[in-house]
């Protein structure tokens, strides 16, 4: 059985002020020439993802379970930066940790990443990336060069005939194989453009869990409450890591092009651990947890079977991370998107994910699964207190999904 995982990101733009015309400040900005190596580019995405994860956790601690797709958000920001200029452009680049790359260089790097993703896809482990621009032709004229760039580098669908709630939701449903059926309930009067990204991952574990060894497990959460949830169990050769501060297990998917890392702090509660590490610390942690750092040995692995849905307006978080001008109706410089009877600015950014982990693999709008098994008296790795997950590309270590599980019993 194959498991679809998906993440959908939605951008909405609005018109406010005066006539705008595209001005290319520096023609070289759009040339697809890169400064960074592919390795450095992926390190920057990891750092950007880690800052985003930490900032969302800081403002979202009421949600014990939180799953995001950093890559989906980063791709959507790349779509946006292609129409941005001046400080608006620079702030988006800073968020991406790519201040030293041109827009053309960013496009070239993402194009290479998409090609790498396509070549890595296997029958039982695959990632699909979909992008779109959907606008109201009665209120906005899209810039033709912008459309050509996002078609060429991002394979974006471009529609001027689907600017309805039904049309946008239909695109989302199709791009996610029905996992996310609704991303909008209404289009605001001043919204004229939507930029969308969807990620759909399907993956079976390389070594899954036997359903017969899944059992009900009861544990106490940090707040003192007790919860019961199904715990998967396996005694097998797994790649594990334990340095006294954290314990971690790395579970590959079939084809070994993707893997899921489970990380559990051993001396701090999870939220304290995330806050103390900060974005740079989380990035350093996952660089430390390179595949070569793990030891293969027989352990008893116990991992919760869980399902999480997460929906969030992340506009404030992005502003806290430095993307400010884009949300300002007068300061935003998004002339590269096209022209309209007023100034274009970002009205909101929505992020929807679904994540399911079970004995066979991962399914949903952000999914990662880990299985560990133990027989007799080998070391026991039981993920029965809050933990972090990161589904990443094996060769580049690019984070696809990242999250925390504080209560596996909650949807």
Q: Does residue 292 carry a pLDDT above 90?
A: yes
Q: Is 36 exposed, middle or buried (0-12, 13-18, 19+ CB in 10 A)?
A: middle
Residue 361 lies in a domain: no
Which stretch of 19-23, 306-310, 360-364, 390-394 has the lowest confidence by average pLDDT? 19-23
Q: Does residue 144 carry a pLDDT above 60?
A: yes
φ and ψ of 356, to 5 deg: -135, 130
Kindly state whether residues 380 and 329 are assigned to the same domain. no
Kindly state whether residues 340 and 278 are assigned to the same domain. no
Give me the residues paired with residue 351 across strands. 9, 312
Residue 395 lies in a domain: yes
Kindly state whether residues 170 and 95 are assigned to the same domain. yes
Does residue 57 contact residue 274 with C-beta atoms inside 8 Å?
yes
Residue 180 CA from chain centroid, whole number: 15
**Which structural domain, as residue segments, surrounds residue 285?**
211-305+369-405
Q: In the prediction, which pLDDT does 281 show?
A: 97
Separation CA 76–CA 81 (nearest Å): 9
Dump pLDDT digits (tens) for 358-367: 999 886 432 2
Q: In the prediction, which pLDDT does 75 show?
A: 95
Residue 360 lies in a domain: no
Going by C-alpha positions, the residue among 364, 355, 358, 378 that lies closest to residue 209 is 358
Q: What is the DSSP annotation of 275-325?
A: HHHHHHHHHHHHHHT-GGG-EEEEEEEEEE-EEEEEEEE-HHHHHHTT--G
Kindly state whether residues 125 and 260 are assigned to the same domain. no
3-state secondary structure of 256: coil
Residue 290 lies in a domain: yes
Which stretch of 197-201, 243-247, 284-288, 367-371 has the lowest confidence by average pLDDT? 367-371
Count: domains in the chain: 2
Kindly state whether residues 278 and 233 are assigned to the same domain. yes
Residue 410 lies in a domain: no
Q: Does residue 372 carry a pLDDT above 50?
A: no
């Amino acid at each position: 059985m194959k498991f679809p995982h998906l993440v959908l990101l939605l951008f909405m733009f609005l018109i406010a002020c005066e006539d705008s015309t595209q001005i290319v400040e520096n023609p070289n900005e759009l040339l697809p020439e890169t400064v960074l190596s592919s390795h450095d580019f992926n390190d920057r995405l990891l750092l950007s993802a880690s800052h985003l994860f930490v900032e969302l956790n800081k403002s979202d601690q009421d949600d014990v379970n939180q799953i995001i797709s950093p890559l989906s958000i980063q791709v959507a920001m790349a779509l946006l930066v292609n129409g941005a200029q001046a400080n608006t452009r620079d702030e988006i680049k800073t968020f991406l940790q790519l201040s030293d790359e041109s827009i053309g260089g960013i496009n070239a790097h993402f194009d290479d990443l998409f090609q790498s993703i396509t070549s890595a896809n296997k029958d039982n482990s695959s990632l699909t990336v979909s992008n779109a621009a959907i606008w109201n032709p009665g209120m906005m004229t899209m810039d033709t060069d912008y459309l050509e760039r996002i078609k060429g580098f991002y394979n974006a669908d471009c529609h001027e005939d689907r600017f309805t709630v039904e049309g946008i939701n239909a695109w989302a449903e199709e791009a996610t194989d029905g996992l996310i059926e609704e991303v909008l309930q209404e289009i605001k009067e001043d919204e004229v453009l939507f930029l969308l990204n969807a990620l759909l991952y399907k993956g079976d574990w390389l070594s899954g869990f036997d359903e017969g060894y899944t059992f009900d497990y009861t544990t106490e959460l940090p707040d003192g409450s007790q919860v019961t949830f199904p715990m998967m169990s396996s005694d097998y050769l797994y790649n594990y890591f334990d340095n006294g501060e954290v314990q971690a297990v790395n579970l590959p998917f079939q084809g070994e092009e993707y893997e899921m890392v489970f990380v559990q702090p051993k001396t701090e509660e999870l939220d304290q651990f995330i806050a103390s590490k900060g974005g740079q610390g989380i990035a350093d942690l996952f660089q430390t947890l390179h595949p070569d750092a793990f030891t293969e040995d027989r352990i008893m692995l116990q991992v919760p079977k869980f399902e999480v849905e997460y929906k969030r307006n992340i506009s404030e978080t992005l502003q806290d991370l430095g993307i400010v001008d884009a949300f300002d109706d007068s300061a935003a410089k998004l002339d590269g998107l096209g022209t309209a009877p007023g100034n274009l600015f970002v009205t909101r950014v929505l992020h929807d994910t679904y994540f399911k982990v079970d004995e066979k693999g991962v399914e949903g709008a952000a999914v990662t699964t880990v299985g560990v098994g133990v027989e007799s008296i080998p070391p026991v790795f039981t993920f029965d207190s809050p933990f972090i997950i990161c589904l990443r590309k094996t060769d580049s270590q690019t984070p696809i999904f990242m999250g925390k599980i504080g209560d596996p019993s909650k949807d």
